[in-house]
Structure 1
Amino acid sequence: MSESPQKYIYYSIAASVITMILKTWAWYLTASVGLLSDALETLVNLSAALFALATLTKALKPADDNHAYGHGKAEYFSSGAEGMLILIAAVGIVYASVERFMSPEVPQNLGAGLGIALLSSVVNFATAKIMLKGAAVHDSITLEADAKHLLTDVWTSIGLVAGLGVMLFTPPSWAFIDPAIAMIMGGNIVFTGFSLIKKSFSGLMDNALPHEELLVIDTAIRTCGGEDILYHGLRTRKAGSHRFIDFHLLLPGDSTITDSHHLCTEIENCIKSDLKNCHVTIHVEPKEDVASYDCEETGGLCGSMVRLKASFGDKD
């Protein structure tokens, strides 16, 4: 892969700087607490992008003696920290909104301010779409989290513009609309922050790969070894963009080491052809030996469980 995923973070940093300038200008013109909340969220965007750049740089480092499985988990710290920054911004927004409720004030130059806010949304939307494509190419949770954060900014800004736009046609007594919209934006931002933290926590806890990917693994094993092949102890996890897969494969006891090795290599290649950045470890056992059926001790999934889960979905 020739391009580096880091270049997409630079796009995010540039977009955050541009939109922060635009939204701060809009707030300066209008004195709207709603537009202030929008500007504060953009400051969080910039902080999150800078943190994402640092963690992504760390995650891209190759495995070494002290990190035999690589540095991919660093990406989860980025999405978790971004979620925390979003929550901090939400607290500031709610605080400013409460103050404005106590002392209502009609925003000034609202038309110009809203136009500037919409322009900043266009910048964020274009950047987010580019980053989502990069996230798909590089399978990066950091890029995905940052892109979704920018999209959240877009939708909240559009909602803000729509809400404040009503004030262009209402009397001064409707000044409460401004802080009310800011409070709603704060609630939406809190939801986004908790979602990112939850996803980060799941990655750090070594959650199994999603069921559609487990089915890909099962299909690869059965395609190479036959529909009746037995396996168990399927354990999977993901660290950044890297997938780690290991399982026990039961073969006839009279199979030669060479034949077993060739089959394992074929299965590994088949899995890697459908799933990116895979590290596959296969432990071969004789299927005639009772000791090979140590499913309870090994843990993980067997073939029938994978098919069952794929059929009924995640019930956790």
Structure 2
Amino acid sequence: MHPKKKAILISLCVSIILMLAKFVAYFLTHSNAILTDAAESIVNVLASAFAFYSIYLTTLPKDENHPYGHGKVEFFSAFVEGVLISVAGIIIILKSSYDLLYTNEIGKLYDGAIIIGATGLINLIVGFYLISTGKKHHSITLEADGKHLLSDAITSGGLVLGIILIQLTQIYWLDGVISIAMGIYIIFNGYKLTRRSVGGLMDESNIELVKDIVKVLQDNRQDSWIDVHNLRAQQYGADLHIDCHVTLPYYFDLNVVHQQISNIDQLINLSGVYETELFIHADPCLPACCNYCKMPNCPVRQEAFKGEIVWTMENVTKNQKHFSQ
């Protein structure tokens, strides 16, 4: 089984078991705070189920209808999970606000705390596992699910402390206050997840990723690579697509140009951690490039070399040659 499928299947099975455990804790205690945690677990199960289907799609090979693969569905999956989390947070706040005005009797809080504490610990372990697997295989879906479980573990930890506080002080309205605080935290996490997924769906530039690519090119640049500009990167799940313009000496024949482009392709794929597909447009050099061109013994040089223009994210992403320093 593919590692991503295995990870999300584990998450789904664990989410179902922990959801049942949290509802058991609620029926024991009748605590709204515990009901809040149990209700969020329903979201965990739904999100994990949708994530499993999304990851199934991402492992399908490219086809005629999806020439770039199916990786974009991961951003949609993360968006759905973020929306579900936010909706759960809003419902939790509304329910808890009502129960804050009309408190109900709660009991067996220590039993509930033990159950919730155990579920929180399990979520912590599974969450770190999902994040680690997601980063290794560049899956935003696994990372999102893992971070969701980590936030769930944090809320469970806070809930356990709150339950103990309620039991010690016998101030039962704290149950509603804790629930509202948890609801706000849940909405905040849902917003962050939704924001990231929308950015991916809208092909928002990944600044850190572009910086890494530019650094690889700068650190390994060859004299014949006179200029790189109009560099853009798009991420489709675990696949990365890069297109850019590379200025080469205009007297290179087609075989040499092809070899130079292949060298850049190999450099990016060997140096980076992404499976990268490059679309490189070769531009011929112009006399205005001579002052920063380092080609030795150039037969057509019209101006002496003055200094190298260091490639940065600011100048490499612009759609123009670097005509001056």
TM-score, reference length from structure 1: 0.88
Alignment correspondent of 1:113: 112
Alignment correspondent of 1:176: 173
Cα distance, 1:233 vs. partner? 1.1
Q: 1:178 to 1:170 in 2, by over 3 A?
A: same
Checking the alignment, whether the CA contact within 8 Å between 1:225 and 1:263 is kept in structure 2 is no
Cα distance, 1:305 vs. partner? 4.3
Matched AA of 2:186: I
Bigger mean CA offset, 112-121 vs 57-66: 57-66
Alignment correspondent of 1:216: 213
Cα distance, 1:3 vs. partner? 3.7
SS at match of 1:206: coil
Percent identity over the alignment is: 31
Alignment correspondent of 1:278: 276
What stretches of structure 1 of length at least 5 have no aligned partner?
291-301, 311-316
Aligned residue among 224, 227, 231 for 2:228: 231
Q: Residues of 2 paired with 1:127 and 1:213: CA distance?
A: 31
* Higher share in helix: 1
Cα distance, 1:99 vs. partner? 2.1
Checking the alignment, whether the CA contact within 8 Å between 1:218 and 1:303 is kept in structure 2 is no
Q: How many residues align?
A: 297
Q: Which structure is larger by alpha-carbon Rg, 1 or 2?
A: 2
Q: Residues of 1 paired with 2:91 and 2:316: CA distance?
A: 43
| 1:127-181 Cα distance to aligned partner (Å, 9 max, x none) | 111111111111100000000000000000101111121111113xx21100000
Bigger mean CA offset, 137-146 vs 238-247: 238-247
In the TM superposition, what are the counterparts of 1:36-55 in structure 2 within 5 Å?
36-55=35-54
> Alpha carbon RMSD of aligned pairs, Å?
2.2
Checking the alignment, whether the CA contact within 8 Å between 2:92 and 2:180 is kept in structure 1 is yes
SS at match of 2:3: coil
In the TM superposition, what are the counterparts of 1:180-191 in structure 2 within 5 Å?
180-191=177-188
Checking the alignment, whether the CA contact within 8 Å between 2:226 and 2:249 is kept in structure 1 is no
SS at match of 2:85: helix
Checking the alignment, whether the CA contact within 8 Å between 1:207 and 1:238 is kept in structure 2 is no
Alignment correspondent of 1:259: 256
Bigger mean CA offset, 105-114 vs 142-151: 105-114
Alignment correspondent of 1:132: 131
SS at match of 1:108: coil
Q: Residues of 2 paired with 1:272 and 1:207: CA distance?
A: 22
What stretches of structure 2 of length at least 5 have no aligned partner?
289-308, 318-325
Cα distance, 1:309 vs. partner? 9.3
Alignment correspondent of 1:200: 197
Alignment correspondent of 1:96: 95
SS at match of 1:243: strand
Q: Residues of 2 paired with 1:212 and 1:30: CA distance?
A: 48
SS at match of 1:226: coil
Checking the alignment, whether the CA contact within 8 Å between 2:230 and 2:316 is kept in structure 1 is no
Checking the alignment, whether the CA contact within 8 Å between 1:93 and 1:186 is kept in structure 2 is yes
Checking the alignment, whether the CA contact within 8 Å between 2:229 and 2:316 is kept in structure 1 is no
SS at match of 1:196: helix
Q: Residues of 1 paired with 2:36 and 2:51: CA distance?
A: 22
| 1:88-136 Cα distance to aligned partner (Å, 9 max, x none) | 2112211221221121124200010100100111111111111111111
Bigger mean CA offset, 32-41 vs 219-228: 219-228
